[in-house]
Amino acid sequence: MDLARSGSLPDANGNKRAQRAWCLYDWANSAFATTVVAAILPVYFARTAARTMPAHEATALWGYASAAALAVTALLSPLVGALADQSRRRKPLLLACVLLGSAGTLGLALAPAGAWSPLLVSFALAFIAFATGNVLYDSLLPSVAAPAEMHRVSARGFAWGYLGGGVLLAVNLAMVTMPQRFGLHDAATATRAAFATVAAWWLAFSLPLFRDVPEPEAGRSGVPARELPAAVLRQLGGTLRSLRSRPDLLRFLVAFWLYSDGIGTIIKMATIYGVEVGLGDRDLMGALLLVQIVAAPASIAFGRPAAPLGARATVMLGIAGYTGISVFAYFLRSAWQFWVLAALVALFQGGTQALSRSLFASLVPREKTSEMFGFYSVSEKLAGVAGTILFGVGTQATHGGRLATLTLLPLFLAGAWLLSTVDLERGQRAARSVA
């Protein structure tokens, strides 16, 4: 069966091939999330920007730049999602994001040494493409997995992502710490070369998705191009109105917004906070590599309690873990504590995100998956805006990031409470009832 032409789930062998290709995209783009967002770029930016400003100012600037990129993504995500639904062309739009993101990542490698402003511009371009592409990627989950498989396949995607990101991160860390062994002049040159490898990795390992994953509505004609703008706006308006009649979906979105605020802020600010505290590069990079190694099996293992406990209870367990992580981060003073913090993040991160994604997918009408995942992304990205701005303001106000870690506690607690009030069975029935 030609998966590219089929809008329904294929046979068993074809379905497995489609699931592998879908998971492999997580392997592909997670290299950007690990090497660029979490590990190497924050440290490289901090070292570069610190030449012209105090360390805590560089931390705040990174937080503000991340918030700006997240804000743009929050505005684009529902528009791109509605456009994908109306045009029935999710994969071409995702391909555009992959190409733009790879180009932006390559721009990091080509930025002049010692100049921090081109780094921010290239990072913003690549991150917007990365996050917008994830909206389209997530919306393809129902086309490769039946409802009963979604939790398992979603968790497997995160596990593959941690493995892929970890493999390339290990190579990149070796390049940065031992540049001469790779024929590179110094660590700064090796860092720029590492960014180039991420661009190539992201592009190359994305290709199977475009071959093997089906378009959910292939065979159904999309809206003519001249009518697309009006159709997109109508769909967005209709969806916003329909959210009021879907209280469980809306409540889940707000809950996810709250607790993902803390998760996203920890992911984006952990390394640069470690630089501020005075940790060495080897400890920072090594601990992040530990996250990748441990998080892959932890993501799959974390999904197993979803059967006896239920997906929501398992997500609540993850939120509780992150609450403890936020408190622990306040007391961070030495390298061994950062390694413990990294191990704790690895235990909870992937499973919490994977089960949140599949829970949301179970509440969404199938024919509106792209747009709804656009709103899911908005919820996540607006949370990132709030979290990183709060972290930046707190860092500037207290001349350090230590107290800023405690601003995450109310978000985790409120998110857990609101999630506990969602009637999942009613929301899933409402999603299935849409013709």
The predicted-structure confidence for 307-347, as pLDDT tens digits, reads as follows 567 778 888 988 999 899 888 888 888 888 888 888 888 88
Using CA atoms, how far residue 332 sits from 5, 56, 261, in Å, is 53, 16, 21
Residue 190, pLDDT > 50, answer yes
R_g (Cα) of the chain, nearest Å: 21
Q: What is the rounded CA–CA span in Å between residue 36 and residue 105?
A: 8
Six token digits for residue 26: 């997580």
Give the helix ranges, DSSP H, for 140-246: 141-144, 150-177, 187-212, 228-244
Backbone angles phi, psi at 308, to 5 degrees: -75, -40
pTM beyond cutoff 0.85 = no
Backbone angles phi, psi at 307, to 5 degrees: -75, -55
Find the mean pLDDT for residues 105-110. 95
**Per-residue confidence at 232, pLDDT binned at 50, 70, 90?**
low
**Which residues fall within 8 angstroms of residue 405, CB to CB, at 6 or more apart?**
273, 326, 329, 330
pLDDT at 213: 92
- Count of beta carbons in the 10 Å neighbourhood of residue 242: 16
Amino acid identity, position 165: G
**Which residues fall within 8 angstroms of residue 171, CB to CB, at 6 or more apart?**
197
Count of CA atoms in the C-beta half-sphere (13 A) of 256: 27
Six token digits for residue 268: 């984006």
Q: What is the rounded CA–CA span in Å between residue 310 and residue 419?
A: 13
Find the mean pLDDT for residues 375-394. 65
Q: What is the rounded CA–CA span in Å between residue 177 and residue 168?
A: 14
